Structures are given as C-alpha cells and as structure tokens.
Structure 1
Amino acid sequence: MAEQAMRILVFSHKPEVRESIVNAIGRRPAADLGRVEYVELAKISHVLSEMDAGTVDLAILDGEAQPTGGIGLTRQLKNEITDCPPIVVAVRRKDDRWLATWSQADAVLVHPLDPLTAAETVADVLRARRVPVVPG
C-alpha cells in the first residue's frame, strides 16, 4: 500500500513566489520522505481554514505577503492552533531571520531560494514532525 503524500501549504499573494517555493523544494524533498503534494493559497482566510482543518503537514509562508505577511501569520497560528503543524517562513533578507524566530517559525528560508538548502530544510522539519512508530 502506497503511503499518502504529505501536504505542504504554500502561501503568498504572488503566484511567482509560490511557484519558486514549490520548484525549489520539489515533489520529493528527500528520498526517505516520499512525495509531497502542495496546496497553494493566496488568501489568509484560506490558510486559516486549511490550518484549522488539520490536514496540513507543513506550511511555508511568504514573509513578504500582502496585506498580511507570513511572519505575523505564523505567530498567530502558533498561538491559536493547538498542535500547530510546523511552519517555515520565507524571507527576502537574511537580516529578517530574527523576525521569523520571533514568530515561532520552525525554520527560515531566504530568497533567492537555493534548491538544495530549501529541500533539506523542509525535509528536516518534516522528519522532526513525524511520530515514530513503536512496535507494540
């Protein structure tokens, strides 16, 4: 039986930013994780609905999104959702890493995205999220 693909939510008001994130990470960020499927969203209301539904394994939020950026949204989600899925924030400047840390993001990506770094970062966060199977 094939393992179900993990769902990664990608949020930005700009389609080209969502596309750059998806292309950098790819359909299989690491061999041990299998394939991922993306849910690309441009509206905050849709992000909130998806996150509340509990069907997302990881969210990647654009820190520069308008009118509400991914940094503030990350902090809101981390404080409002019990057992919030991990969130990666994509920022434009390395100097904005501290803001992503303040937001309680699990990891930070810096544009322009390096495909190796982006895939490795996402894979590390997804691995940390996995619940180990304990034989009983």
Structure 2
Amino acid sequence: RLDTRLTRTLMAVAVGSSLAVAGALMQALTRNPLASPGLFGINAGATFSIIACSSLFALSSMSQWLWCAFIGAAVAGTIVWIIGNRGQGSLNPLRIVLAGAAITALFTAFSQALLVVNQDGLDTVLFWLAGSLSERDLTTAAPLLVCALPP
C-alpha cells in the first residue's frame, strides 16, 4: 500500500512542479502575467495530436501518446509564436494571447470533430484527457522524476 501511495504522491509532485515551471517560463518569455499553456494553444494542440494519433494510428502506449502530445504542443506553440511575431516591431504579448486563443479554438474544434467521428476510441481518449495517477508504478514514475525534479 505504501508503494502505491508514495509513487502516486511523487508523480503528483513531479507533474505539479513541471506545470508550475512551464507556466513561469511562459510568463517570463512573453512578459505577460496571465500566460498559461491553455491560453496559448499548447494544451489544445497536444490534445488534438493525441486524439488524431489514437484515431488514425490506433496508438495505445503511454510513451507513444507522450510523443504525440509533445509534437502537437510544439506545433501549436510554433504557430502561435509565428503569428505573434508578425507585423511591426518586436514580440507583442497581446498579439500572442489573441493568436493563442484563436489556435486554442481551432484545435479544440478539430478535437471535438474527431471525437464525434470516432466513437470507438472515445472512452480511452477521454480517460486519458481527464488525467489519472492510478495504475502507475515506479517504472512509470522514474523517467518523469528524473526530468521534473531539480538536481
């Protein structure tokens, strides 16, 4: 029982600290105190990528979903960054927020459309999107802890 609780606690701490660092980095880079991955399309891009990969390629492994999410988040972030840097002058925080909101809406619409079309994989994807630390052990937690916790 202690192994299960300790593993889940360590994973929750690692995930929480990773999200905090991501938010702080986004706020520092954009000079915007309201910056967050959800506002800049990062979450929506990762979600769409997971749903698309699950629907098109029937991926079921957590490591495969992780790479799909990473690629989707990177694509969404790159699109927002390119749109935010267009026009006169340097980086405009307001333009980035507006681009992020638009990309979030776009990827969310695509995700919903794929979920409506592909009813077979709906339960698996929705369970993953809700997030859970159940059925995780130290072999799952070790790579996350190495990357997430400071030296």
TM-score > 0.5, shorter chain as reference: no
Q: Of the two structures, which has the highest relative contact order with CA contacts closer than 8 Å and spacing of 6 or more?
A: 2
Query: What TM-score comes out, normalization by structure 1 length?
Result: 0.29
Query: What TM-score comes out, normalization by structure 2 length?
Result: 0.27
Larger helix share, 1 or 2? 2
Larger strand share, 1 or 2? 1
- For the pair shown, the structure with the greater C-alpha radius of gyration is 2
